[in-house]
Amino acid sequence: MLKGIPKILSPELLKVLAEMGHSDKIVISDGNFPAESMGKNAIVIRADGHGVPELLDAILQVFPLDTYVDHPVNLMEVMPGDNVETPIWNEYEKIVAKHDKRGKDAIGQIERFAFYDATKKDAYAIIATGESALYANIMLQKGVVTD
């Protein structure tokens, strides 16, 4: 056990977060995301039983967001024609604002298939959660620790 580290962050996840360097990307995926097939070139960490918001909040306590890009946080855009509400995005805005002074301005959106491509190409790791909300996938780009 460690002091000051959120208990939801497993030793495996902490190791991965520490290994990541500036500009590396990590995806926190919902339960429907094809983490294993998208993560053939990434580290896939299972976090079944946990939701994305609780992991996002814990990760952002130890993980700086990149200050050199407009959107170090990206969501998977809702596909045209999908009649889906995304109230979880409001939770993400609150969590990001708690940890980054840019607040919701730090959050962008990536079209669904472009999100898949970016995950396959750029993700250092994918955290596969048990999140049941639709379009709950979120990609974070790491910045530098300045303190």
Q: Which residues are catalytic?
A: 22, 66, 116
CA distances from 5 to 29, 50, 61, 62 (A): 22, 17, 8, 8
C-alpha 116 chain-centroid distance: 13
Cα–Cα nearest to 134, from 71, 101, 87: 87
- 1: tokens are 């056990």
Strands laid side by side in the 25-29 sheet: 43-47, 123-129, 25-29, 138-141, 73-76, 107-110
